[in-house]
Amino acid sequence: MQHFQEESNSVLYRFLCMLPTIGKLQLCDCLFEEMFSAERPNADYTRVLLHLKEVELTNVDNLNSIGLEHTWLHPIPENLQTLKVKKCHRLINLVPNTVSFSNLTILNVYSCTGMLYLLTSSTAKSLCRLKVMDIKYCDSMQEIVSIEGDESHEDKKIIFEHLHTLILKELSQLRCFYPGKFALCFPSLEKVSLISCSRMKTFSPVNRIDQTKLPSGVTFIKDATPKWEGDLNSTILKRFEEETSERPQKVTVVSLKNEPVLQDIWNGSLPVPHLCFQNLEELIVDGCQFSSEVLPSHLLPFLTKMEKLTVQNCSSVKTIFDVKCTTEHRKMTTKGPALIPLPFSLKILNLEELPNLENVWNEDPRGILTTELLKEVYIGKCKCLTSLFPASIAKDLVKLEKLHVKHCEELTAIVAEDNADPKETDLELTFPCTISLALQGLPKLKYFYSSLHCDMSKLIPNLQHLSLGEKELKLILQGSLFNKLKFLHFPCFHVESDAFPYAFLLHVPNIDKLMVFCSSFKEIFCFQRPDVVYTEFLSHLKVLIFELLEDLNSIGLEHSWVEPLVKNLETLEITRCSRLRKIAASPVCFSNLMRLILYDCHGLVNLFTSSTAKTLTRLKTMEIINCKSVQEIVSHEGDASHEDEKLIFDELQSLILNDLYELKCFYTGNFTVCFPSLEKLFLINCFKIETFCPGTINADKLLEVKFLELSDADPLDIDLNSTIRKRFLQRVKFNSNN
């Protein structure tokens, strides 16, 4: 039975009535919350199900209970021979209390992530005919057989008479097979696989295990030689001790979420092994909710060689470095006193999506640890963080190259004032190696360092890349002059005024790249000449990038005061600016433009006039993709009277026109179009294009045209126009036949 959308199991009962001799029942992708309910149905289904030998449940996501424990089903479980349960994530067990599976031979449970245990000890006693038990990928399972009631009768046993194969794989929370006092007997056991059950310290901690034979030992790693130390408990314990001592010594990269044993070391459940983490270079803490401190004080001495730390998606984390420790704790190490302060090798710190992070260091780490090698810091979406660096840390960040802080609603300062040491209040800081700074989405940011104003260009004298939100722009650029800055990025400006903030140019006189992203500007360069002469500043700009400016109607490149920019511009990229109608409203001179990239600009009908096109002598790459209204690339302006003239794209090597569903031609005028360097031409999903242009085309180096993304290019047939025409007619014929 597949894809039953009813939550009630009544439809299942009605269906079973029609199959009185059913031997196998499969449920897949159904919405049942309970397979068999506690209340006895009106009909006697026990006779209907008497022949049922095999049950398989797969992807029954809402299933809370199978219901085999209900008394009215009494004969059914006893007749089952095979039970398979896969991807039923709400089940916490197979059966919650005593059920007799006296004929069950195969038991498979796979990827039931909510299951805490399989069955109780009383139910386990009925598994006298079970031959194969295979349990895999159940992330929450802590034990296979759970204790039920009073188990003080130590003479009692759980005997798996015919069990010859036991496979437990990827059970990250499994502590033991059975924690109770009954003796476990496996007289037929031949194969045991315990793969990636790293928290399993013992098979059964408080009782004896009787097995008459286990010739091959226990497999802990696929295809590796099985291990054997005389009995199951000793074998598993030996493996656990090896794992907890050897792995922490050897590991170089740790994703803590996937390392349950290391989690136990982290929270203090296991002792810290000798030479622990001596080779650790990178630590990833992603989605771990077991601790409020990422680096607890007792582990700090062991993590000094770590170079990269990533912490993300951890709602329980309140601090990263736990340095609230006594002098005695500061000297804690496995052998002898630790170095004070601890010289951390940390180079990259990445903190993302930590909604309850209050601080990076929960106390001033002066005298406890240093982070002098720190090069890159990325902080994002830590809404409770109020400051980033204590002053004692900030003064040593002489190698810091990148600092990016975004969307931290409560952040008031990057560097906190040093209230503990009056001598270091308003300490003269400098970050000589910092070349990239990004500050965005920080509504409460009052200052970078100290409540007193500091000249940011002196604080960060060699800055080259700067990304600032609307509020941060005023704070950082005020009174500062960044002569070495090359790239300026404005993300998410939603100002009341539509005017672009030209005044910033006075503070960044040498920038050559400007990017504006996700902002509400309607025009970049306005018609009216600004009061300040920006000619000198504009002449340095080489790259303009505009992305997701949904209100943008005009860039303003046609205005005379912007001419120094247009003449020197080398790259123009425009993405997702749906209201933009033209690149320039009137002819302009792009004499140095080399790259033109347009994506998802659905308001464009054409790109530029023929007179503008004539200036594109240095253009090497043109990509126009998914601009749904574009009908032509170059529009003509009275070209008919000058038929002997030419449009020459001297250096254009790559022309990509993809997903332009209204494109009819490249150019509609009569000029000869020349592409002396063109080698790559894509016309993918341009279904309306019949011809490239009405006049002559010269493209001596072009050998083929690509019309379909997943097909080979078409070789040139006579010339470009005839090749395009041939493909167009083929498409028309194909559509008419279908």
pLDDT value at residue 333: 42
- Amino acid letter, residue 443: P
**Residues 728 and 689: beta-carbon distance below 8 Å:** yes
Calpha distance 664→253 (Å, rounded): 55
Q: Which residue has the higher pLDDT, 643 or 624?
A: 624
Average pLDDT over residues 557-572: 92
Does 683 have pLDDT greater than 70? Answer: yes
- Amino acid letter, residue 680: K
Length of the chain: 738
- Lowest mean pLDDT across 156-165, 432-441, 462-471, 492-501: 492-501
* 407 Cα distance to chain centroid: 17
Calpha distance 705→727 (Å, rounded): 10
Calpha distance 9→37 (Å, rounded): 8
| Cross-strand partners of 599 | 575, 625
| Cross-strand partners of 219 | 193
Does 502 have pLDDT greater than 80? Answer: no
Tabulate helix, strand, coil % of the chain (nearest 5).
15, 25, 60
Calpha distance 153→166 (Å, rounded): 26
* 295 burial via Cβ count (<10 Å: 0-12, 13-18, 19+): buried
pLDDT value at residue 328: 41
Convert the pLDDT of each residue in 656-668 to its tens digit.
999 999 999 999 8
pLDDT value at residue 377: 97
Residue 491: is the preceding peptide bond cis (ω within 30°)?
no
Average pLDDT over residues 547-568: 91
Average pLDDT over residues 515-528: 89
> Minimal CA–CA distance to 202: which of 228, 232, 171?
232
- Lowest mean pLDDT across 149-153, 183-187, 301-305: 149-153
> Minimal CA–CA distance to 508: which of 470, 452, 468?
468
What residue ranges in 217-375 does DSSP mark as E strands? 218-219, 253-255, 282-286, 293-295, 308-312, 319-321, 342-343, 348-352, 359-361, 369-370
pLDDT value at residue 225: 85
Rounded percentage of the chain residues whose pLDDT exceeds 90:
52
Sheet holding 183-185, edge to edge: 157-159, 183-185, 209-210
Does 642 have pLDDT greater than 60? Answer: no
Convert the pLDDT of each residue in 37-75 to its tens digit.
777 766 665 566 777 899 999 999 888 988 888 887 777
Res. 549 pLDDT band, cuts 50 70 90: very high
**Residues 176 and 203: beta-carbon distance below 8 Å:** yes
**Residues 565 and 588: beta-carbon distance below 8 Å:** no
Convert the pLDDT of each residue in 425-460 to its tens digit.
556 789 999 999 999 999 999 989 875 567 888 899
**Residues 467 and 438: beta-carbon distance below 8 Å:** yes
Convert the pLDDT of each residue in 591-619 to its tens digit.
999 999 999 999 999 999 999 999 999 99
Residue 732 phi, psi (nearest 5):
-60, -45
Average pLDDT over residues 181-205: 89
> Minimal CA–CA distance to 665: which of 623, 705, 635?
635
Average pLDDT over residues 100-114: 95
Does 630 have pLDDT greater than 50? Answer: yes
pLDDT value at residue 37: 79
Sheet holding 646-648, edge to edge: 646-648, 672-674, 697-698
pLDDT value at residue 327: 37
How distant, in Å, are the alpha carbons of 268, 304, 351, 393 from that of 363?
Answer: 21, 18, 18, 11
Res. 305 pLDDT band, cuts 50 70 90: very high
pTM of the entire structure? 0.79
Q: Print burial letters for 180-192: b (CB count within 10 Å at least 16), e (below 16).
A: bbbbbbbebbebb
Provide the mean pLDDT of the chain. Answer: 87
**Residues 523 and 554: beta-carbon distance below 8 Å:** yes
Calpha distance 738→736 (Å, rounded): 5
> Minimal CA–CA distance to 309: which of 319, 290, 323, 295?
295
Q: Among positive and negative, which fits the CA dihedral 712, 717, 719, 725?
A: negative
pLDDT value at residue 426: 56
Residue 315 phi, psi (nearest 5):
-75, -20
Distance from first CA to last CA of the chain, Å, rounded? Answer: 38
Sheet holding 319-321, edge to edge: 293-295, 319-321, 359-361
Does 514 have pLDDT greater than 80? Answer: yes
Helix, strand, or coil (residue 107): strand
**Rounded to the nearest 5 degrees, what angle is found at the Cα of 78, between the Cα atoms of 77 and 80?**
65
**Residues 431 and 460: beta-carbon distance below 8 Å:** yes
Res. 326 pLDDT band, cuts 50 70 90: very low
Calpha distance 314→292 (Å, rounded): 9
Calpha distance 353→320 (Å, rounded): 13
pLDDT value at residue 5: 53
Convert the pLDDT of each residue in 194-208 to its tens digit.
999 988 989 988 766
Label each residue of 602-637 as H, E or C: CCCCCCEEHHHHCCCCCCCEEEEECCCCCCEEEECC
Bridge pairing between strands 145-146 and 293-295: unpaired
Res. 498 pLDDT band, cuts 50 70 90: low
pLDDT value at residue 273: 84
pLDDT value at residue 331: 44
> Minimal CA–CA distance to 727: which of 706, 699, 710?
706
Does 641 have pLDDT greater than 60? Answer: no
Calpha distance 282→165 (Å, rounded): 39
In the chain, what are the domains? 10-219 (3.80.10)
Does 461 have pLDDT greater than 70? Answer: yes
Does 9 have pLDDT greater than 60? Answer: no
> Minimal CA–CA distance to 582: which of 592, 569, 591, 572?
572
